[in-house]
Structure 1
Amino acid sequence: MNASNASNATNATNAVNGNDTGAPRVLVGYSPDERGDDALALAALLARTMDAPLTAAHVHPPPWPTPGPGAVDAEWVAYLRGQADEALRRAAARLGELGVPERAVDLRVHAHRSSGRGLLQVAAEAGAGLIVAGSAPRGRRGRVAIGSTADQLLHGSPVPVMLAPRGYAAHPPKRFARMTVAYWRHRDGEGPLTAAAALADRLGVELRLLTLVLRPPGLAAKFRVPGGVLDRQLAQAEEDLRYAAGMFGGGTPVERLTAVGTDIAKTLGTVDMLHGEVLACLSSREGPLRKVFLGETSGKIVRAAPCPVLLLPRGAAAPTVGEKAQVR
């Protein structure tokens, strides 16, 4: 399969028009290292489960902005292309091992000084409905560390972003088990919640709604006063969860869970998570509409999650199949 830039125009057309399954196109950003392998493992599981088209992209630095001697520029460009082509050959081979044949994968090379912004441009060209990336290499195993690439995706992507925790490729699940949505009621939250439910349905898993209630500072659990601040917080959380669950009509009951603790990481650590769990999180209400925007609370949840994390754009469901996200 040709991974050169010259084939991008044809590939973009096929990416938009060739999706006969109705599933959103999955775009995975690949680098030839551990985080790239983690991202491929998650993207392959998504593509297989949803029978979704898959694009694997490698973003490399552009040529020098200031022209130099012709021979030097030509050698540098050839080097970049060679490295990119080799990276995508490795990606295609690994995807084949993961059950996604090479003929089913759209391979793309893209030049951009910023890997995150470059992936957003590829997503727009390919009509991707979901972007998958790996954790920064400095993070702890089993957790997500937000590096520069993920940071750019999580502050401006017009489509959902899913991050694989470090080491995910070592023991990937055979199937997804459940989707838990970290939910707090706010304006513009209904669209993302509907998008999460739609994705859970495509993955064939049940949906669980989770609200984390943080105990007021200085209030020990044994000194909890009936009818006090904490009880009022819990009552409001239960009301909000009932409201959210009611959005799904009278179909399959949606599990609701409230967890209480002193901080987000410790509280989330008390919640059972299955092998194959996905934790979905809403974008900050302070962010722009129809974009992913990682706020303070959602950022803490992402870093504490022991499973892949899905970040949903504020105020909008995922783009329909074939719809191109607008990236500037």
Structure 2
Amino acid sequence: MTILVGYAQGEGGTGGVQLGAMLAEAAGTDLEVATVVPRPWTTPSMAKVDAEFAAWTDQIVTAARNEVAEYMEIYPPDLRWTFTRLDHRTASAALIDRAQESSADVLVISSTSEGQLGQIVIGSTGDALLHKSPIPVAIAPRGYRSPKDGQLTRITVAVAGSGPEARAVLTRAREAWESTRVPLRVVTFAVRGGAMYPPLVGLSTEGTVLDQWKEQAATDHQTLIDDGTIPAGIDCVVAAGRGWREAVDSIPWLDGEVLVVGSTREGVLAQVFIGSRSAKLIRHSSVPVVVLPR
């Protein structure tokens, strides 16, 4: 078992490394940090451009390795970690190939350096992984800092309804919960749009529909509890709001918590593929998000 972190020195900080280390320590598994550099030319250059290119990639890898090694000094020696250089034309393809070679359980990346601190901003590599990865993809918000003790504090899993997709996500999240023994929470997001109905219908109708959504979500939770999909005693909440930001902020979040979401059913089986709802939730999440493949 391995947690694989894709790390680009100077881009996004060490948020992905911190998240990966936290997950590895919670699961009692190994951590591998990989930096992808462009693959060099295979034919020699008379102007020695190939040698200069190789020297440049060596500098990138050395700087990344040194930065990661310096940060990892804060963790106990029993957290085993390695650093890997990947030469490839595409960062996402390199990380997926390496994840399959090492039988990684989770592939971790950082947000890009764009956007606000604490916000998940997905770049081109992250976008490709969120539509192709055969293993779960974890994304750290920009500027993410794990707790001082580096401990995972809670797993929150987002579900919609009580159908097969919700059950599949809960089953995977329950496996992680059982291996880490941190608290588990189940949440359903009920988001009211800006103008769900024309004014002639009445603005109060929007509130009525939202209340019905919340009641249905609570009923779905109870169904999943009754059939044992959600273990007894697990905290189940409905997060409601007039938009994703308000809904996400309507419930408390812990330092060291992660949010688990599933892939859309329109995607390819055994691959990650996020839909519009998951994309909005990821963008507004204040904690790291783990996206599961179908």
- TM more than 0.5: yes
Report if aligned partners of 1:192, 1:313 keep a CA contact under 8 Å in 2: no
1:223 matches 2:199: no
Whether the aligned pair in 1 keeps the contact of 2:19 and 2:146 (CA below 8 Å) is: no
The one-character-per-residue Cα deviations of 1:241-280 (angstroms, maximum 9, x if unpaired) are 2233345468542211112222222211212111122111
Q: Is the 8 A contact 1:187 1:285 kept in 2?
A: no
Aligned position for 1:163: 139
Quote how far apart the aligned CAs of 1:91 are.
1.3
The 5 Å alignment of 1:1-328 reads 24-33=1-10, 35-64=12-41, 68-69=45-46, 71-99=48-76, 104-169=80-145, 174-185=150-161, 186-215=163-192, 217-218=195-196, 223=204, 229-246=209-226, 248=228, 251-314=231-294
SS at 1:46 equivalent: helix
Count of equivalent residues = 289
Structure 2 gap segments, 5+ residues each: none
Task: Give the aligned CA root-mean-square deviation in angstroms.
Answer: 2.7
Distance 1:182 1:96 in 2: 34
CA contact (8 A) 2:9 2:60 kept: no
TM-score normalised by structure 1 residue count: 0.79
Q: Distance in 1 between matches of 2:43 and 2:51?
A: 13
Q: Structure 1 residues 247, 269: closer, same or farther in 2, change over 3 A? A: same
Q: CA deviation at 1:110?
A: 0.6
What SS does the corresponding residue of 2:132 show, helix, strand or coil? coil
CA contact (8 A) 1:176 1:205 kept: yes
Q: Is the contact between residue 12 and residue 113 of structure 2 (CA under 8 Å) also seen in structure 1?
A: yes
For residue 199 of structure 1, what is the amino acid of its counterpart? A
Aligned equivalents of 1:299 and 1:65: distance in 2?
Answer: 39
Distance 1:179 1:69 in 2: 56
Report deviation, 1:66. Answer: 7.0
- Matched residue type, 2:212: R
1:87 corresponds to which letter in structure 2? A
Residue identity opposite 1:230 in structure 2: L
Asked if the contact 1:36/1:133 (under 8 Å) is kept, the reply is no
Contact 2:135 2:293 in 1 (8 A): yes
> Structure 1 residues 245, 148: CA separation in 2 closer, same or farther (over 3 Å shift)?
farther
Q: 1:218 to 1:296 in 2, by over 3 A?
A: closer
Name the CA distance, whole Å, in 2 between partners of 1:30 and 1:156: 19
Residue identity opposite 1:306 in structure 2:
S
* Unaligned 5+ runs, structure 1: 1-23, 315-328
The question of whether the paired residues in 2 share the 8 Å contact of 1:27 and 1:57 is answered with yes
Q: Deviations over 1:283-316 (max 9, x none)?
A: 11211111111211101111101111111111xx
Alpha-carbon distance change, 252 to 188 in structure 1, aligned in 2, over 3 angstroms:
closer
Counterparts in 2 of 1:218 and 1:157: CA distance versus 1, 3 Å? closer
Asked whether the 8 Å contact 2:130–2:274 carries over to 1, the reply is: yes
Contact 2:136–2:291 (CA<8 Å) still a contact in 1? Answer: yes
Say whether the 8 Å CA contact 1:27–1:131 is kept in structure 2.
yes
Report the AA paired with residue 309 of structure 1: V
Separation in structure 1 between the aligned mates of residue 148 and residue 268 of structure 2, nearest angstrom: 34
User: Percentage identity across aligned positions?
Assistant: 32
Q: Distance in 2 between matches of 1:111 and 1:47?
A: 25
**1: CA distance, partners of 2:230 / 2:221:** 15
Distance 1:110 1:257, change over 3 A: same
Residue identity in the other structure for 1:135:
S
Q: Under a length normalisation based on structure 2, what TM-score does the superposition of the two structures give?
A: 0.87
Change (3 A) 1:60 1:236: same
Mean alpha-carbon deviation: is it higher for 252-261 or for 146-155? Answer: 252-261
1:244 to 1:292, Cα distance in 2 relative to 1, 3 A:
farther
Change (3 A) 1:250 1:210: closer
- Partner AA of 2:204 in structure 1: F
Whole-Å separation in 2 of the counterparts to 1:215 and 1:269? 14
